Amino acid sequence: MNHTKGGLVIFTANSHPSSRELGKRIAERLGVELGKVQVYQEANRETRVQIQESVRGKDVFVIQTVSKDVNTTIMEMLIMVYACRTSCARSITGVLPYFPYSKQCKMRKRGSIVSKLIASMMCKAGLTHLITMDLHQKEIQGFFNIPVDNLRASPFLLQYIQEEIPDYRNAVIVAKSPASAKRAQSFAERLRLGIAVIHGEAQDAESDQVDGRHSPPTVKTTGAIHPSMEIPLLIPKEKPPITVVGDVGGRIAIIVDDIIDDVDSFVAAAETLKERGAYKIFVMATHGILSCDAPRFIEESAIDEVVVTNTIPHELQKLQCPKIKTVDISMILSEAIRRIHNGESMSYLFRNIGVDD
């Protein structure tokens, strides 16, 4: 049954077969067929897009999941959006469940804020609206000059905990670092559970020793600054021994985060929790990138189960590690598409979500 007004077209790109699979699920829920489009690469690796049906005056939704070849994923998205724009589509909404380069959203030394660049490129290509899920930093929405709907996967993960973990009342929600404490607190308050925070783990921040700004000038200049004035140096951080703030003994430990990519920190956290007496350990995240040897490390670790959503394809990783489970989020994406196309309010999808969620 068609749940939308006329004039809706849904396209999927070629980044991964799972992108088309997610697109099919969304189209089935909306009662429409996927649009006809051909996306392929030339012999010289250039991306070519051919829209094979009329989109003039229609609302177009382009679904794109992020594969290992992130840059090709972005180019497919940009070219498809631009092709729809030059074909006179009324509106073009990008559906990127995982926003690429979202970790590069802050200035570090002499680097750049790449997520701002990606946002500008998408807007320039012709995107009029963006649907995404659990941005690494909510402030990324400010990089766009178009509406951005940052949906949440937490209701699906909370439902999984309640339905698939029989003794979840004996669980404690764990933040593997103080930076994840707000997310853990949100889960704990909704499930009426306790919270624990692991403090003192190895940080990813780069050392300032390699930065030229750490070195004092070779020539002492006192012309501009009074000799009696000295700029105070910031005291360097000293990482304390790893401690767990909160009781996990004899409990189920559920580690929550937004992205699980390099699993070293999760494996180390699981070992720490096991030493503190946790008898079962779950890891839950929205985006399961699971790069390199992540499946093997998970399989050999103290982690009992890793639960992620299908914002990113990970079928191959699931074959390598049976501990990895998937939660489908196509329902909320299809409802967002339906509401945007029909001009309905999106507030229903954000009910009970606070500023810190």
pLDDT in tens, 81-133: 999 999 999 999 999 999 999 999 988 888 899 999 999 999 999 999 999 99
Query: Are 105 and 248 in the same domain?
Result: no
Average pLDDT, integer, range 286-306: 94
In the block, residue with structure tokens 């004996």: 170
The answer on pLDDT for 327 being more than 80 is: yes
Round to whole Å and give the CA distance between 150 and 283: 22
Query: Are 90 and 170 in the same domain?
Result: no
Q: Which residues pair with 39 in a beta bridge?
A: 49
pLDDT band for 2, please (50, 70, 90 cuts): low
Round to whole Å and give the CA distance between 26 and 327: 15
Query: Are 247 and 319 in the same domain?
Result: yes
Range of the domain at 169: 154-200+241-327
Round to whole Å and give the CA distance between 100 and 119: 10
**pLDDT of the residue at 120:** 97
Round to whole Å and give the CA distance between 342 and 226: 66
Query: Are 319 and 252 in the same domain?
Result: yes
Q: Is residue 2 part of a domain?
A: no
Query: Are 159 and 267 in the same domain?
Result: yes
pLDDT band for 80, please (50, 70, 90 cuts): very high
Q: Is residue 313 part of a domain?
A: yes
Query: Are 172 and 278 in the same domain?
Result: yes
Query: Are 70 and 20 in the same domain?
Result: yes
Count CA within 13 A, CB hemisphere, residue 316.
Answer: 13
Query: Are 280 and 309 in the same domain?
Result: yes
Comparing CA positions, the residue from 238, 244, 237 lying closest to residue 177 is 244
Q: Is residue 230 part of a domain?
A: no
Q: Is 147 helix (H, G, I), strand (E, B) or coil?
A: coil
Phi, psi (deg, nearest 5) at residue 231: -75, 125
Number of domains making up the chain = 2
Comparing CA positions, the residue from 23, 25, 1 lying closest to residue 14 is 23
**pLDDT of the residue at 307:** 97
Q: Is residue 221 part of a domain?
A: no
Query: Are 169 and 93 in the same domain?
Result: no
Round to whole Å and give the CA distance between 187 and 203: 24
Pairing of strands 37-41, 91-96: unpaired
Round to whole Å and give the CA distance between 8 and 5: 7
**pLDDT of the residue at 183:** 94
Q: Is residue 215 part of a domain?
A: no
Query: Are 158 and 146 in the same domain?
Result: no
Q: Is residue 111 part of a domain?
A: yes
Q: What is the CATH number of the domain that holds 246?
A: 3.40.50.2020
Q: Is residue 232 part of a domain?
A: no
Query: Are 46 and 160 in the same domain?
Result: no
213-248 b/e (C-beta count within 10 Å ≥ 16 → b): eeeeeeeeeeeeeeeeeeeeeeeeeeeeeeebebeb
CB within 8 A of 349, min separation 6: which ones?
149, 151, 332, 335, 336, 339
Average pLDDT, integer, range 199-214: 54
CB within 8 A of 37, min separation 6: which ones?
11, 12, 49, 50, 51, 52, 53, 80
Q: Which residues pair with 281 in a beta bridge?
A: 253
What is the pTM (predicted TM-score) of this model? 0.87
The first and second tokens of residue 196, run together, are 């624990």
29-54: pLDDT as tens digits: 999 999 999 998 899 989 999 999 99
Q: Is residue 40 part of a domain?
A: yes
Query: Are 184 and 323 in the same domain?
Result: yes
